[in-house]
Every structure is written in structure tokens, then in C-alpha cells.
């Protein structure tokens, strides 16, 4: 199903029907998904959503209060969405990358985040590319993670999607794409475009729990070595 229009881009989201039927396997058919949603059981970022094709995207929190389950959409190392189970405490906030900081009517400053939120009167320290921690209940910014070297980031696009590492350096290319070099926990360094880098923590401590591979991409040979031998 084609996702509805919503906070996330068409190519970077997952409709709720896929989430419920194919990922969480709570329903077998599209009709069953509809019954689940129409009972108002599913919340995305703390708001009940009843649209089968509602686009849930990177960093969104899916809450099912009836079964007391909470999930966060993050990328796995293969670049696919991972529906990562989180605790109730962690489900109260999300991280959002700041796309731009602007002045609104009457000189009121506001920021626009990657998931389409506009937040007025932000902290003056916030700049584009930084990540803010948003409390979902009142849409307030409670913490800022600057985009700077030494901070932990997750890659949210391109070939390295889902990898997690520390920002090493940023190359500016006027008129082209700025490149960012990132170093993962195993010491591998890789480069990606600035627009694909999503800061997830200060220093090396992530603000969110990571899925099981912790964003480390192994080579095919390394993965083969870990598998039990085929006798």
C-alpha cells in the first residue's frame, strides 16, 4: 500500500498496516489491521492514529497500551526498518533532527524537525543538523545534541544506513554535498553525506536504546566467521 501523506517522506516511512501485519504480526489481513486501528489501540508518537497507511518513520514511537508494548522505528544495519521494542520510560520521548531554524511572524523563532514538527521559541543554541530530544506529551524540547565531532550518530540514508558511529570530521563542499566521516565502535571509518547523519547522543552514549547489532556493520567474511561451521 502506498503510504498516506504525513510527517515522513514517502521513501522513508512504513505504513501502519505493514507494521501491524508484516512486522509485529498482530493481524493476518488488511481488514484485521483496520479493526485494530479503528478500536483506537495504536498510538504513534503518543497520538492515536486510525489511518491504515499512516506513515510511521525513523525515530517514531509506536505505542500499544492495551498490551503495554512500545516500539521505536530505527534502521538496522542492512538499511531496513527495525521495530525495536523499548521500555515505557523510553517511549515518552523521541529524537528529532533539526532541519532548519527560522523566524516566523512577529519575529518568533522556530525550528522545523525531520518529522514535520515546528516548535516555537527554541533554545537559541539550536542550529540546523542538531538533534533535539522531544517530550511527546507536550512537544517540548528537553535536551540538545549538537552536530559536532565526537558525538554519536546514526546514518539514516544511503549505503551506510543504520550504522552507528562517532563523528570524526566534516568536509565542506560549497555547491555540492558536505561529507561527514564517521568511525564505528570497531574502528572502521566511513563517509556519508551530511544530510544522512542523525546525531543520537553526546559523546559515545546514545540517548536511545539501539537494536541488537548496535549499528555495527560486519563484512561478509566476519559474519561468516561467527556462524557455526556447516559440517
Look up residue 129 and give its three cell numbers. Answer: 543538523
- The whole-number pLDDT of residue 116 equals 87
* Contact criterion met (CB below 8 Å) for 102 and 53: no
User: Nearest Cα to 84, choosing from 94, 32, 99, 226?
Assistant: 94
Edge-first strand listing for the sheet containing 42-44 = 47-48, 42-44, 61-64, 69-75, 81-86
Provide the pLDDT for residue 78: 87
In sign, the C-alpha dihedral spanning 84, 85, 87, 91 is positive
Question: What distance in Å separates the CA atoms of residue 96 and residue 94, rounded to the nearest whole number?
Answer: 7
pLDDT of residue 214: 78
- Rounded Cα gap, residues 205 and 166, in angstroms: 10
For residue 208, the model assigns a pLDDT of 87
pLDDT per residue as tens, the chain (231 positions): 899 999 899 888 999 999 999 999 999 999 999 999 999 999 998 889 999 999 999 999 999 989 999 999 999 888 888 899 998 888 899 999 999 999 988 999 999 999 888 988 888 888 989 999 999 888 889 999 999 899 999 998 888 898 999 999 999 999 999 999 999 888 889 999 999 999 998 888 888 888 877 778 888 888 888 888 776
Residue 77 · residue 163 · CB < 8 Å: yes
Taken in order 46, 47, 52, 54, the sign of the CA dihedral is negative
**CB environment 16-49: b (16+ within 10 A), e (fewer):** bbbbbbebbebbeeeeebbebbeeebbbbbbeeb
For 214, the grid coordinates are 548496535
- Helix (H) or strand (E) segment spanning residue 30: helix 30-38
Tell me the C-alpha distance between 149 and 139, whole Å: 28
Amino acid at each position: 500500500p502506498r503510504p498516506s501523506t504525513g510527517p515522513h517522506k514517502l521513501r522513508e516511512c512504513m505504513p501502519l498496516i505493514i507494521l501491524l501485519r508484516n512486522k509485529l504480526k498482530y493481524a493476518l489481513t488488511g481488514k484485521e489491521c483496520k479493526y485494530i486501528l479503528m478500536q483506537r489501540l495504536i498510538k504513534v508518537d503518543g497520538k492515536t492514529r486510525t489511518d491504515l497507511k499512516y506513515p510511521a518513520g525513523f525515530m517514531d514511537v509506536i505505542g500499544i497500551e492495551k498490551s503495554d508494548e512500545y516500539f521505536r522505528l530505527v534502521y538496522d544495519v542492512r538499511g531496513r526498518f527495525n521495530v525495536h521494542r523499548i521500555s515505557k520510560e523510553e517511549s515518552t520521548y523521541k529524537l528529532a533532527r533539526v532541519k532548519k531554524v527560522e523566524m516566523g511572524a512577529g519575529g518568533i523563532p522556530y525550528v522545523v524537525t525531520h518529522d514535520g514538527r515546528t516548535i516555537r521559541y527554541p533554545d537559541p543554541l539550536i542550529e540546523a543538523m542538531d538533534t533535539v530530544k522531544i517530550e511527546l506529551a507536550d512537544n517540548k524540547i528537553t535536551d540538545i545534541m549538537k552536530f559536532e565531532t565526537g558525538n554519536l550518530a546514526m546514518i539514516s540514508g544511503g549505503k551506510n544506513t543504520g550504522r552507528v558511529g562517532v563523528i570524526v570530521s566534516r568536509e565542506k563542499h560549497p555547491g555540492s554535498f558536505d561529507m561527514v566521516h564517521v568511525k564505528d565502535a570497531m574502528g572502521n571509518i566511513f563517509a556519508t553525506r551530511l544530510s544522512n547523519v542523525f546525531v543520537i547522543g553526546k559523546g559515545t552514549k546514545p540517548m536511545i536504546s539501539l537494536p541488537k547489532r548496535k549499528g555495527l556493520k560486519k563484512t561478509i567474511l566476519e559474519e561468516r566467521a561467527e556462524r557455526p561451521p556447516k559440517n
